[in-house]
Structure 1
Amino acid sequence: MGPNNKAAARCCSESPSRANLALIDEFVAQSTAGDATCTKYRTHLLEFARWCEHTGCMDLLEVRTGQVARFMAYLRSGNRFAAAKHHRVAQSASGATRKNVRSSLCRFYRYLESVELVPKNPVLAVESPKARHTPGLVLTAEEVRRILEVPGQPRERVQVYLLTYTGAREHEIRQLRWQDIDFQNQTMLLRGKNYKHRVIDIHPRLMVELRRWLLAQEEHACANAHVRAAKSNADTDFVLLTSRGRQLSHSVIIKQLKQRAARAGVRCIKTADKDNVSAVHPHALRRTFGTLLLNDGHHLDAVADVLGHASVNTTRKHYAFSSTERRRDTIHGLPL
């Protein structure tokens, strides 16, 4: 191994300086973003800090625009020696990845500028990489019905109904408590990202499932002290509880949805060492919810409100894909 390669390998195994780590920790701690986003920020910033120190810039407060531009070029190089070991790849980072990294750096330096630790944000003058937008997985109405109707455990069933009939994010249904559901007015409170909560109407089919699940959970509580204790406190009385009386985890919801979709034979992928694995995940149901509503002619702003998007542009970008039928109906609907 040559001296340059040895230095790069040493860079990968070392943490950034204590001062740089403190800046990163401070930024992440003050962020109101979700856990996954904060993890992404930390990953990007640690790689940037290691790269800076490897190239001679030992203080993140001294970074200039030229260094940010060179770092963006490094991401395209196919030799990301400063990345954490499990993120290291021997290929150029995609436009989407580089765009995300630049966004993390920009937010970091925007914060440092706001607390007067740097005179200006050095990232602003670096052009944002262009990323090709690829539509995510959207199911057909028939595929969704198959997932809903396949046999399964009661809690698994209500999870899928919640995701399907609310368009909620996975973490929003995990945080749903019984006190958030107004059975009389048939509405529910969803706790969104960055403390942005919203109230949505409950679909009649979902209302039936929620009433059925509430009775089942209360019966379970009579025989299970853990569930009984959780339900005795409004703050821990989650709609989705484990048998230990704990809030259902992110991984369990994903796993059970994939298993249910695989049993229904929806979007299955054959693997060498496993049975059929489904590509369906919680966000696919959210995306399907929004797309089906838009394709059915519902107003963009109304769908954006239900999905909890701060801007209709988000809904338009990720959900408003024109189907063949919509394009045909648009032409045929010309009032001439």
Structure 2
Amino acid sequence: MAEPARAEAQAAIVESFLDGLWMERGLAGNTLTAYRSDLLAFARWLDESGAPALLDVGRAEVMRYLAARVAGGASRRSSARLLSALRRFYRFQLRQGMIEHDPTARVEAPRSGRPLPTSLTEAEVDRLLEAPDTDSFLGLRDRAMLELLYATGLRVSELVGLRLDQVNRRQGVVRVTGKGGRERLVPLGETALAALEQYLADGRAAVTRAAGASSVFVTQRGQGMTRQAFWYRVRDHARTAGIHQPLSPHTLRHSFATHLLNHGADLRAVQLLLGHSDLSTTQIYTHVAQARLQALHAAHHPRG
């Protein structure tokens, strides 16, 4: 809990900045109100987290706060507005000689343009993976497909096109040829491998009597799956799981990347698993996780 004297002092600093901003630029009252709200919220967070006061913070505190806001569901627009308020505040303090360094100087605003992908929470993923009824062929197949999708981060097209000769069950990996003909090996993990083994033994074997059938995932007639047919099944299971947000064919792929990063995985390792040739492509999947990584770097790197 913040000490009243410190809270009052920080509020006074904010009001002094707003007075100066009004005199310098004649900003509208709504803008000043938004800045006041953002800056006081930041000051409260500093107090509650035991961080330095407003005029003593470094880049690490700014990054941690942005990460906390994003983790709490703040939009890119809201985060960009917040960073704009912080920039103006600290540039003003720098001009006034109140601080020696601007803690926002090397903090990037959220990028606009391509919308950030939607991912599920870990609890939602658990419900989705449990939704298929594994007493049926379709349930066994769908559970295996969902488990593989979440365990590997494969593109849906890579999943439905998976052949038996691409799966090494003994080593627990799949060999995938992605965009541009780039090949990668992706580990399955114990849970996904167990679901795959059960499907192959108790589901697929009963419907694929043709000796030449090579697709891992097949229909009840023993034919290869299509991307569209699989996605209809996913939407049905999402309803069963009580997930009402709109899903895309890449939702589990986004969730795979985000959850790995949230648990401390290296960004370049995730890039390799996803089959991206450019790290910047991987970064669009990280939203919350990326903010967390930047905060960790700023907080712990000796030259952060």
Give the TM-score taking structure 2 as reference length: 0.57
User: 2:140 matched to which residue of 1?
Assistant: 154
User: C-alpha deviations, 1:134-171, integer Å up to 9, x for none?
Assistant: 21211111111111112431111111111111100001
State the number of aligned residues.
Answer: 187
Matches within 5 A, 1:100-249: 132-152=113-133, 153-221=139-207, 227-229=208-210, 232-233=211-212, 236-249=213-226
User: C-alpha deviations, 1:83-107, integer Å up to 9, x for none?
Assistant: xxxxxxxxxxxxxxxxxxxxxxxxx
| Cα pair 2:120 2:251 within 8 Å, conserved | yes
| Cα pair 1:258 1:279 within 8 Å, conserved | no
Q: Determine which of 277, 289, 296 is the counterpart of 2:256.
A: 289
Structure 1: any 5+ residue segments left out of the alignment?
Answer: 1-129, 222-226, 269-277
| Cα pair 1:187 1:202 within 8 Å, conserved | yes
Asked if 1:258 is matched to 2:244, the reply is: no
Asked if 1:321 is matched to 2:287, the reply is: yes
User: 1:86 matched to which residue of 2?
Assistant: none
Alpha-carbon distance, 1:219 to partner: 4.2
User: 1:308 matched to which residue of 2?
Assistant: 275
User: 2:10 matched to which residue of 1?
Assistant: none
Higher RCO, Cα 8 Å, sep 6+: 2
Change (3 A) 1:286 1:220: same
Deviates more, 1:298-307 or 1:326-335: 326-335
User: C-alpha deviations, 1:270-320, integer Å up to 9, x for none?
Assistant: xxxxxxxx512330110111111122221111110000001111112x112
Alpha-carbon distance, 1:335 to partner: 5.9
Rounded Cα–Cα distance in structure 1 between residues aligned with 2:205 and 2:270: 36
Structure 2 residue matching 1:184: 3-state secondary structure? coil
Structure (1 or 2) with the larger CA radius of gyration: 2
| Cα pair 1:148 1:161 within 8 Å, conserved | yes
| Cα pair 1:176 1:238 within 8 Å, conserved | yes
Identity %: 28
| Cα pair 1:163 1:282 within 8 Å, conserved | no
Change (3 A) 1:303 1:328: closer
Alpha-carbon distance, 1:179 to partner: 1.5
Rounded Cα–Cα distance in structure 1 between residues aligned with 2:301 and 2:175: 40
Rounded Cα–Cα distance in structure 2 between residues aligned with 1:162 and 1:208: 10
Alpha-carbon distance, 1:181 to partner: 0.9
Give the TM-score taking structure 1 as reference length: 0.51
